A and B are shown apart, each in its own frame.
Chain A
């Protein structure tokens, strides 16, 4: 234990050493790697040897978008490189992004599906994939004894998850399943990429089908064994660590602290399966250069740096987001990477895997598309309204969004001519 006064002195000492940023730095404006220790690692480990000075600034989507729009509208900017999710880029006007096909990627073998998504429906490379993640399940080891008979943790069904949660609730005297339904929680992804594909083999077409009604009934049942504080949970690692929750669904990066802090206490496993398979979806973050970037050459060099295999591995260590290029991972990766990596491999390699794609072509309707699922959840599950009535009502909103954006269907929905129809 050190003397706090000494620490204070140390603070001021470090102060005098820290160098200040100069004008020519490339500004990396990002919505990802926001937690303080992740942005620290981005600066120290990922960007330190980029061959140029980079000012890495993560921020909330609100300020991120406001600043970007202001620069685009003013026609003059300081942002050199954008880092954001696929959905953030689709909501932008593609004309505002520089074509990246001229970037020399060297030996990096970038995932083709992802680069296609990065075209944003144009003939140019509007963004390049930067890193990827997905959503998985995590459990405290003490929950395992309550697994229903005959259930295989690596091949769970939704019914088994429900009876498992029921067993846990009875054993613990309170619900121990956790779901990120808080303000910043990614609940809508669960419905879009997991529940709907697993029960309807669709996201849009069968939004209000009878199969969808069954899916919501199942989720309602699961919810009755879910910690009712879940409407406050946005990062399930916190509740897993505190023990408020034993089993949870979330984004791999939002479970990482649990695995890293107590690797012996937590396990990761694939999302459950329904009648139409084991639905799951990727998360893709991309990098792009806005048309107003002050130095496009430097920015493109930075893009190339970000996709180098060794940078991708450093990024994985820093952020718990997986590489988008073909790399051999070293053995000494953080616990979260090892644990969740194995679960992801099991999930995508399972016989009943039903991988979905990310929506493309929704444009600025992306937020409203998510809202349809959030509203359905809040009305059906929290407000306990009639499922059929809610779905018929929300269907109209979904239909309007699809028609307005003209987005064609994406997997697992069957391809469509023109806008994806809601049947």
Chain B
């Protein structure tokens, strides 16, 4: 590389932007988590963990991410390779599968609540095909697993497209010759996916996974719509502290927990899906 300064020059705009619009306000907010009436304190973290809902919302958030993201990963790989292999109509299929990307989480919550609520579309369908003689109540506080399932389905519907689009763009760069050569040597479709496509797709997989995981820890609107108060998550608790309880200190502490978890997972993903130099084409 002829110019040592070039990379830094290219990074400069992003760096300036981050400092101005993120790091500056972030440091002001983060500071709130540690400052009390008499200077530095960890009291806010203590009152956060002392609240009986903290561990519930923490584990709910984790559980949801762990249940949803792997399914989305597999689904988006399958969908991306299907689109890639398609000869006819892939334009329209690609479009359809991208649609949920354009739908905000609040709107998705409204749509899925209309499906799962007691007098909703799902019950209407069950009744019309005669499976149930009266509407079932799916979203009740005493049946957390159905709530969990409903939220997971809605999240899979809503957010798989994020990974799908990234993977489609990434797959387009894999030279077709590799796959064709493998086919000549009798590699099955499965082998080709496992041995050729996925390793070459590693950079995109990494990006897709990181972005998706981070968003998964911030899940809120769909959960609030379907789970009501029975399925608390970290983001909802953060809102509650910030706006209902007007306690910016504990809200900042909770936000830092979300941040810490996100960074931890990001570092793990970067390590596991490392892109070694020799793996690049």
Instruction: Report A's interface with B, CB cutoff 8 A.
Output: 61-62, 65, 91, 173-174, 181-183, 185, 227-233, 239, 242-244, 364, 366-368, 370-371, 375, 378-379, 382
Contacts and interface: CB of A to CB of B under 8 A. Distances in A.
A382 B245 CA distance: 21
B142 interface: yes
A62 B139 CA distance: 26
A229 B246 contact: no
Contacts of B137: 174, 227-229
Nearest to B231: A231
B142 A61 contact: no
B246 A91 contact: yes
Nearest to A61: B243
A244 B139 CA distance: 12
Contact of B229 (A173, A182, A239, A367): A182
B228 interface: yes
A230 B244 CA distance: 21
A367 B244 contact: yes
B229 A371 contact: no
A174 B119 CA distance: 13
Interface of B: 52, 113, 117-119, 134, 137, 139-143, 224, 226-230, 236, 239, 242-247
Contacts of B113: 232
A229 B224 contact: no
A235 to B, nearest CB: 12
Contacts of B245: 367-368, 371
Contact of B239 (A62, A185, A244, A378): A62
6 contacts: A62-B242, A65-B246, A227-B137, A228-B141, A232-B117, A233-B228
A91 to B, nearest CB: 6
Given A182-B228, A242-B117, 11 more contacts: A173-B134, A181-B228, A182-B229, A183-B236, A231-B140, A232-B139, A232-B230, A242-B118, A366-B246, A367-B244, A371-B244
A40 B143 CA distance: 39
Contacts, number: 72
Contacts of A370: 244
Contact of A62 (B118, B134, B243): B243
B140 to A, nearest CB: 4
B198 to A, nearest CB: 41
B229 A231 contact: yes
B139, B143, B244 — most chain A CB neighbours (10 Å):
B244
B117 A379 contact: no
Contacts of A181: 228-229
B228 A65 contact: no
B46 to A, nearest CB: 15
A347 B158 CA distance: 47
A223 B141 CA distance: 12
Nearest to A385: B52
B52, B139, B246 — most chain A CB neighbours (10 Å):
B246
Task: Enumerate the 6 nearest inter-chain pairs by beta-carbon distance, A residue then B residue, closest first.
Answer: A228-B140, A232-B228, A367-B245, A231-B141, A231-B228, A242-B119
A62 B239 CA distance: 8
A229 B134 contact: no
Contacts of B143: 228
B119 A244 contact: yes
A62 B247 CA distance: 12
B117 A229 contact: yes
Contacts of A62: 239, 242-243
A138 to B, nearest CB: 17
Contacts of A229: 117-118, 137, 139-140
A382 B230 contact: yes
B244 A378 contact: no
Contact of B243 (A65, A232, A382): A65
Contacts of B140: 228-229, 231
A61 B230 CA distance: 22
Nearest to B248: A69
A304 to B, nearest CB: 31
A61 B240 CA distance: 11
A232 B244 CA distance: 18
B186 to A, nearest CB: 54
A185 to B, nearest CB: 8
Contacts of B239: 62
Contacts of B119: 242-244
Contacts of A244: 117-119
Nearest to A175: B137
B113, B226, B245 — most chain A CB neighbours (10 Å):
B245
A232 B228 CA distance: 4
A231 B229 CA distance: 6
Contacts of A61: 243-244
Nearest to A370: B244
A183 B225 CA distance: 9
A183 B229 contact: yes
B96 to A, nearest CB: 21
Contacts of A375: 52
A228 B228 CA distance: 11
B229 A378 contact: yes
Given A229-B118, A229-B137, A183 B224 contact: yes
B118, B137, B143 — most chain A CB neighbours (10 Å):
B118
A243 B224 CA distance: 22
B9 to A, nearest CB: 35
B49 to A, nearest CB: 16
B151 to A, nearest CB: 12
A161 B242 CA distance: 37
Contacts of A227: 118, 137
